[in-house]
Structure 1
């Protein structure tokens, strides 16, 4: 008989997971969200979009506490430094790192993910300091989605050439990793030089997962080798043809991952979950939003899981129903089919 640990993992399972999850074997946020051949569910913030008044965002933290208590795998926040009315939405408005620190203090277990921090616009010193601080304060729950940016208004505001963001993105990733992984890093980069100093605090378990979003101006091969996971858009979601095309993308990427290591794939969708459970999967607003009942959503999630998606981030900003009602239905009817993973408990300390 195998003896189970308090987090329900047997010795054999923990030994097996060491080779599967590599350097993130003990990372609570990563292990809660990701496992081979399984899919978990997270929620993309904001719950409601900013429409000109900060009051539009009131009550969101209470919903996040509900998400945590109902055992969803993650919450996601976006990084939108400047709101461009011509582009569309303003994200969750608050700075992603400040807001995740606030939400970390109001939750216990849910993974905290950026979707995504714009690595071309922020200096790696500031990124490393903010990310490591949140990771430690949350007990190792941070998942850092990263991207090269796509809002043209932001690059001149930062004095950065958008045409060179592919190179800057790679340099920032390398600089960031040297800072968080090494005690005394020696860094020579166009972004700065470091010698003899140390970035503190270090991440709770020694490293922070970097999840590349979209292409971020990089090749699939570079993403396979240098990321800790990949978040891509799902394509069509009204029928199985979209997941099948997504399957080809995932397979092509995974074939390029060195040594056959497991790296998770994620996707996301904005949904309008209708009360009628049999309401068919119906694209609205040109396919930007999926209107469906829970049975259609479950079908989609099963299709994603079958083609290799490991995590689905669902946005309910366009829902025609109250957010709490949607979250409750997802928790009762959908989440049991795609449960969050048992793994290392967050390393909570009374800082």
Structure 2
């Protein structure tokens, strides 16, 4: 957690600012409601369109395998490789992962890749980390699914050591040890923001102490109030992590269409969306990440409507 926003890099403060609410998009930046696989057609232009619309962030998902039972292959491309591509295709928008499945990755590699992306993007990267939502992937990596919570905690601790200390000394239980004779480069001018994605089998108290932001799928008004109150209590005098949520999203072409939920998909017109986002901002939500997979309209039309009507109403 940053003691005050002036300590945070622009990658973080662009997305998370107390009293304000920003909007981000999850990749791929397209609607593909009838297929598990996106086309990725024209994705470089759509990324630039997203940035030009004033959307705060683009989030890349980590889905190593296609699971037919799950029905969504995300952007198909490796998120860290794809983040490098998008860094070259954009200039200001925050790029982040939502999130790297940390128990299935080696923390030293993640730490170096994240630092490299932050450098190449001119400090526009936020490292979002999760334990994933597809248990079937764990046996493929030879990782015990039941140990994912412990691996997640230790992996984040290891990444912090690597990025914040020079020639660190640390002994881990599941990864390796550093004895002070090695140092990780590139170094960053400011601490890299780390964001939890999902609960990752962690108690609120741990999240409050160890991450800068938290993106979950909980967007109910009462639940949001309870979550934010719990984070404040757990933070015990220091700033609590910023809270936001993600959702599958279908922006109705009728601006007066009411809020509707179909399982995990929000379908809504822009007027009701603006009212909903303003209410959530006032509750303390700082970011909403939208997944356009189920959209009944082309992504370009949704991005333009968000930029022309929704974002100005949140200022």
Match of 1:253 in 2: 231
Would the aligned equivalents of 2:249 and 2:267 in 1 still touch at CA under 8 Å? Answer: yes
Q: Which residue, out of 271, 277, 285, partners 2:255?
A: 277
Aligned to 1:232: 216
1:210 corresponds to 2:194:
yes
Given the superposition, is the C-alpha separation of residues 52 and 264 from structure 1 closer, same or farther in structure 2, using an over 3 Å criterion? closer
| Residue pair 2:59, 2:96 contacting (<8 A) in 1 also | yes
User: Which of 41, 51, 70 is matched with 1:87 structurally?
Assistant: 70
Is 1:309 the equivalent of 2:285? yes
Shift in alpha-carbon separation, 1:91–1:305, aligned structure 2, 3 A? same
> Do 1:20 and 1:262's aligned partners in 2 also have CA atoms closer than 8 Å?
no
Deviation at 1:155, TM superposition (A): 0.9
CA distance, structure 2, for counterparts of residue 105 and residue 273 of structure 1: 29
- Provide the residue aligned with 1:194 in structure 2: 178
2:26 is matched with 44
**Given the two structures, how large is their TM-score scaled by the length of structure 2?**
0.94
Q: Return 5+ residue gaps in structure 1 as ranges.
A: 1-17, 236-241, 340-351
Conserved 8 A contact 2:36-2:72: no
Q: Choose from 104, 107, 124 the match for 2:90.
A: 107
1:143 Cα shift?
Answer: 1.0
1:186-242 Cα offsets, whole Å, 9 max, x none, are: 121120112211111123x3321111122101111011111111111124xxxxxx2
Normalised TM-score (structure 1) = 0.84
Matches of 2:170 and 2:197, distance apart in 1: 25
1:150-189 alignment, distance < 5 Å? 150-189=133-172
Q: Which range is displaced more, 40-49 or 74-83?
A: 40-49
- Are the equivalent residues in 1 in contact too, given 2:21–2:287 (CA < 8 A)? yes
Aligned length, in residue pairs: 310
CA-atom RMSD in angstroms? 1.7
CA–CA distance in structure 2, aligned partners of residues 259 and 22 of structure 1: 19
Q: Are 1:244 and 2:222 an aligned pair?
A: yes
Deviation string 1:11-64 (CA, Å, 9 cap, x unpaired) is xxxxxxx8522642xx1100111111111111111123493666x121122111
CA displacement at 1:154 relative to structure 2: 1.2
Structure 1 residue 283: Cα displacement = 1.6
Deviation at 1:337, TM superposition (A): 2.2
How has the CA–CA distance of structure 1 residues 322 and 246 changed in structure 2, closer, same or farther, with 3 Å as cutoff? Answer: same
Cα pair 1:132 1:202 within 8 Å, conserved: yes
The 5-angstrom pairing of residues 53-64 of structure 1 reads 56-64=39-47
Distance 1:152 1:303, change over 3 A: same
Query: Which runs of no fewer than 5 residues in structure 2 stay unpaired?
Result: none
Q: Paired residue for 1:32?
A: 14
* Cα 1:52–1:116 shift into 2, 3 Å: closer
By how many angstroms is 1:259 displaced?
A: 2.4
Whether 1:298 aligns to 2:282 is: no
> How far apart are residue 175 of structure 1 and its match?
0.5
| 1:98 corresponds to 2:74 | no
SS at match of 1:259: coil
What SS class does the counterpart of residue 89 from structure 2 fall into?
Answer: coil
In 2, distance between residues paired with 1:166 and 1:234? 20
